[in-house]
Structure 1
Amino acid sequence: MNPVEVTRGDGPVVLGLPHTGTWLPEDVRARLNERGRALADTDWHIDRLYAGLLPGVTKVRATFHRYLLDANRDPSGASLYPGQNTTGLVPMTDFDGEAIWDDPPGEVEIEARREAYHAPYHAALSAELERVRARHGVAILYDCHSIRGEIPFLFGGHLPDFNIGTNGGTTCAPAIEAAVQGICAAAPGYSYILNGRFTGGWTTRHYGRPAKGLHAIQMELAQRNYLTEEAPPWAYDEAKAEALRTHLKDILQTLAGLAGTLEGSR
């Protein structure tokens, strides 16, 4: 199994999809417990949700599941959110804080997984961002995520529908942040927050270098807005999804249009 799939486009926007994959090596699957094998923390159907919204977009998708290796974590193992509950480079628990392994991997195996999965995913993502920047003068990375809207282990209360992350405005030009925030704020019936519980994962923080023409923004969507329910079998709800896709399309097309106005663009 190739750990990464790349769909190459000629536009200025690159979609990162680190958590839609469900593939696991059979020996790894066998070492998960029953709870782990349920793969509950997948970003269910996110690739389908964004499909066809922006002509010329480039997509970089991890095919493996985050329980094997989380491609949106610091490869050093450092926490993204010090002092808060979270999961690591190779998660030992699910998002509810419950153990997922009967036979958890040790340090040597975790390092081998980093080399086999994290490194090639980010090599591909980096290469595509550089290709796009060379063509347009800038590249805009839009990192696609989703999560259940209520997870007490990770956050209190009810997660907003749109969760925009720019690491406090450091990972992209102000115009990008403002445009995405404005679209989400104007979306009737939806809630949003900027740099709330999710301020952007390692991918957004690592690649977002606006002064160098590399802009990154993360979108964490509450799954209630496109799934029938936030529970197995994690069914895609066409009506909900189409309503949401209208706003996602607006976001992506706006970002593509902004690219030519950003410093460094050709």
Structure 2
Amino acid sequence: MAESCTATPFRRLGPATPDCPVLISVPHAGRAYSESLLKFARIPLARLETLEDRLVDRLVWRAIEGGAAAVVAEAPRAEIDLNRDERELDPGMIVPRPDPAHILDSPRMRGGLGLVPARMAGAGAIWRDRIPAPEITRRIESIHRPYHRALTEELAGLKHRFGLAILLDCHSMPPRQGRDQAEIVLGDRHGTSIAPELVAAAENAAREAGFSVARNAPYAGGHITVLHGRPRESVHALQLEIDRSLYLGPDLRSPGPGFDRVAKLIASIVRALEGQALAPADGLAAE
């Protein structure tokens, strides 16, 4: 496989010195598909794009205008999934086959959606051939690790300034059918990645904005939430999943009539997290 050429794996948006302790992460909205990646795919670009959290990067502008910073992926999820552990690889898609000791087995990996997506429902295998191990290494070292290093550094800076830091990891989910299906899902790894008062503040903000909300079902948070959420160290992480039909049109590709309403929702959640975190009586921020 020819080397892909994602020059910049992510963008940092927002003020150089953020005005609030919330950092936004958008890991699945990257659209910088290299020519070599597209040639190696056995399915068309339009099908690869369905792996994206379509246009979520454009939903965070109101929160950024409000003083938050954001780290936004440029590399597409088809190239490498930033919300997976770097060991979460399907060994059958790599040549030479890696040592099993270096593989992290998971239901997501077995389902074809590991560090590098291998298969898609209704499309089968994504790639024409197995991927050379050096190419996997290149993607990890030039895209995956820099993204997580940027999150770590930004969160450390926020903690230094505010006494705590909060990561809001923004995603979108396929439209959910049924009146009992929540429009918004908050994932806190079942209470382990963020203080409960902060999750409650985010949930209240979403409900007050008129959205139905669930926690941890069916999405409890992925690798980003696990890796960066350390409440005992005053670094919190919350995954936000948004039903795509709320902000996209019927084609699920272009902005729909609810686009700005969802942008306002994200900004409201950021404000709620900030307000809860910095409220003197709550004692979340360090003395």
Q: Which of the five TM-score ranges fits, normalised by the shorter chain? A: 0.7 to 0.9
Q: Aligned partners of 2:274, 2:148: CA distance in 1, in Å?
A: 22
With 63-72 and 42-51 compared, the bigger mean Cα shift is at 42-51
Match status 1:134 vs 2:152: no
SS where residue 59 of structure 2 aligns?
Answer: helix
- AA in 1 matched with 2:255: Y
With 11-20 and 77-86 compared, the bigger mean Cα shift is at 77-86
* Structure 2 counterpart of 1:41, from 29, 46, 51: 51
* Structure 2 counterpart of 1:197, from 218, 230, 233: 218
Match status 1:31 vs 2:52: no
Give the corresponding residue for 2:273: 255
Contact kept, 8 Å, 1:227 with 1:241, in 2: the verdict is yes
Instruction: Give the structure-2-normalised TM-score.
Output: 0.82
Q: Aligned partners of 1:52, 1:219: CA distance in 2, in Å?
A: 16
List structure 1 segments (4+ residues) > 6 angstroms apart after TM superposition.
Answer: none
Go from structure 1 to structure 2 and tell me whether the alpha carbon gap of 1:2 and 1:209 turns closer, same or farther (over 3 Å shift). same
Q: Aligned partners of 1:76, 1:61: CA distance in 2, in Å?
A: 22
Go from structure 1 to structure 2 and tell me whether the alpha carbon gap of 1:122 and 1:13 turns closer, same or farther (over 3 Å shift). same
- Which protein has the larger Cα radius of gyration, Structure 1 or Structure 2? 2
Q: Aligned partners of 1:140, 1:104: CA distance in 2, in Å?
A: 38
Contact kept, 8 Å, 2:62 with 2:263, in 1: the verdict is no
With 55-64 and 244-253 compared, the bigger mean Cα shift is at 244-253
Give the corresponding residue for 2:10: 4
Give the corresponding residue for 2:24: 15
- AA in 2 matched with 1:12: P
Give the corresponding residue for 1:171: 193
Go from structure 1 to structure 2 and tell me whether the alpha carbon gap of 1:257 and 1:125 turns closer, same or farther (over 3 Å shift). same
With 18-27 and 193-202 compared, the bigger mean Cα shift is at 18-27
Spell out, residue by residue over 1:201-255, the C-alpha distance to the aligned partner (whole angstroms, 9 max, x if none).
Answer: 1001111001101000000111000001254xx0101x31222333322211111
Q: Which runs of 5+ in 2 are unaligned?
A: 1-6, 89-103
Q: Which runs of 5+ in 1 are unaligned?
A: none
With 88-97 and 196-205 compared, the bigger mean Cα shift is at 88-97
Go from structure 1 to structure 2 and tell me whether the alpha carbon gap of 1:136 and 1:162 turns closer, same or farther (over 3 Å shift). same
Go from structure 1 to structure 2 and tell me whether the alpha carbon gap of 1:80 and 1:47 turns closer, same or farther (over 3 Å shift). farther
1:34, distance to aligned residue in structure 2 (A) = 2.5
